[in-house]
Amino acid sequence: MSHSPTERVVIIGASDNPERYSHQAQLLLRQHGHEVVPVHPKLAEIEGVPVVADVSAISGPVDTVTLYVGPQISLTLKDKLIALKPRRVIFNPGTENAALEASLIAAGIACEEACTLVLLRTGQF
């Protein structure tokens, strides 16, 4: 299943720590030509990309949201994610949240429990 050549991808739980999967995903997404919108409350930029402090500050269409925060954080973002209207939300390993997933699906947003890095590396993103 291939998607549009380039997507606008919001990374929730973005990090400037190269050890973090969210950081690796941001680099790999950009290598694949995708536009990234990193979200972190305290960082100004990551690898030259401006960081958005809050999901509600994002405007314009979003193809994919990839989650790198645990359920206790992601559940607080439910209304903001629904308002953002992404085409899909990827729950990376360790971020699974059945309650949030059910709310997003009810709002017409596709959900996937998958690893963004694996999807990119195997051409399934």
> Model confidence over 13-50: pLDDT tens digits?
999 999 999 999 999 999 999 999 999 999 999 999 99
H or E segment at 116? helix 116-121
Q: How high is the pLDDT of residue 1?
A: 43
Q: Which two tokens stand for residue 11?
A: 């990374």
pLDDT of amino acid 98: 97
Residue 110: which CATH number? 3.40.50.720
Q: Does any domain span residue 18?
A: yes
How many domains does the chain fold into?
1
3 falls within a domain = no
Residue 63 lies in a domain: yes
- Residue 57 placed within a domain: yes
Average pLDDT, integer, range 69-77: 96
Is residue 1 in a domain?
no
C-alpha dist (Å) from residue 113 to 34, 57, 67, 89, 116: 20, 25, 10, 9, 9
pLDDT of 2 reads: 47
Partners of residue 95 on adjacent β-strands:
none
Any domain includes 110: yes
**Cα dihedral 118/89/30/122 (nearest 10):** 20
Q: Is residue 49 part of a domain?
A: yes
Domain ranges, residue 64:
8-121
41 domain-assigned: yes
Q: What is the mean pLDDT of the chain?
A: 95
Q: What does pTM read for this prediction?
A: 0.95
